[in-house]
Amino acid sequence: MANRLRPLHLVAKVSLQQLELLDQQGKHIKQYPISTSRFGLGCEEGSFRTPTGRFRIAEKIGVGEPAWMIFKGRSSTGILAQQGGDEDLILSRIFWLDGLDPENSNTHERYIYFHGTNQEELIGTPASHGCIRLRNLDMIELFDLVSVGDLVEITE
């Protein structure tokens, strides 16, 4: 992808359950359906809520792993997941976020990620435990487009 199209900003719109990918000039490149927390919005430790505000991608984890790879503790397990199930699995790729606002500065310590999911059928509805879930192939595509340090905004 040419540098002029390199996205530098992700905007997750919770009310729409959509993620918008923007280029350097703020122009729309692509949109993805997402799933935010079923517990609502918030920055409190242990709340299982999706934080709002400004963030940056602190780490990208999972390069080269196959789609549907299960991660535990941010490491590949070597096991591929199947669609469905009650467990909130972290699959395919991970963006680990750092909060840039005082109220969300605990985001990294809360282990808030963007990641693939085994519950793709719930994408488009609030269903996560605080993270932002994407379909696995969408997460892999997005992983290849953004860089560590790129900005993320999560809005109501």
pLDDT in tens, the chain (156 residues): 444 446 589 999 999 999 999 988 889 999 999 999 999 999 999 999 999 999 999 999 999 999 999 999 999 999 999 999 888 999 999 999 999 999 999 999 999 999 999 999 999 999 999 999 999 999 999 999 999 999 999 999
Residue 6 is predicted with a pLDDT of 60
Detail the DSSP E strand segments found in the chain. 9-13, 18-22, 28-33, 53-61, 69-72, 75-80, 90-99, 113-116, 132-134, 151-155
pLDDT of residue 62: 98
Q: What confidence score (pLDDT) does residue 4 get?
A: 40
Number of domains in the chain: 1
pLDDT one-digit tens code per residue, 28-62: 999 999 999 999 999 999 999 999 999 999 999 99
pTM: 0.93
The answer to whether residue 1 sits within a structural domain is no
Rounded to whole angstroms, the Cα distance separating 99 from 136 reads 24
Rounded CA separation 2/10 (Å): 18
What is residue 8's predicted lDDT score, i.e. its pLDDT? 80
CA-based nearest residue to 81, from 53, 115, 50, 119: 119
Residue 3: its pLDDT value, please?
46
Around Cβ 142, how many Cβ atoms within 10 Å?
20
Residue 45 maps to which CATH number? 2.40.440.10
Model pLDDT, residue 24 = 83
CA atoms within 13 A on the CB side of 70: 13
Alpha helices (H) in the chain, listed in sequence order = 136-145
3-state secondary structure of 127: coil
Question: Is residue 119 assigned to a domain?
Answer: yes
Cβ 128 vs Cβ 50: under 8 Å: yes
Domain limits at 119?
7-155
Please check whether residue 39 lies inside any domain of the structure: yes
pLDDT score of 2: 42
149 sits in the region (left: phi over 0; alpha: psi -120 to 50; else beta) called left
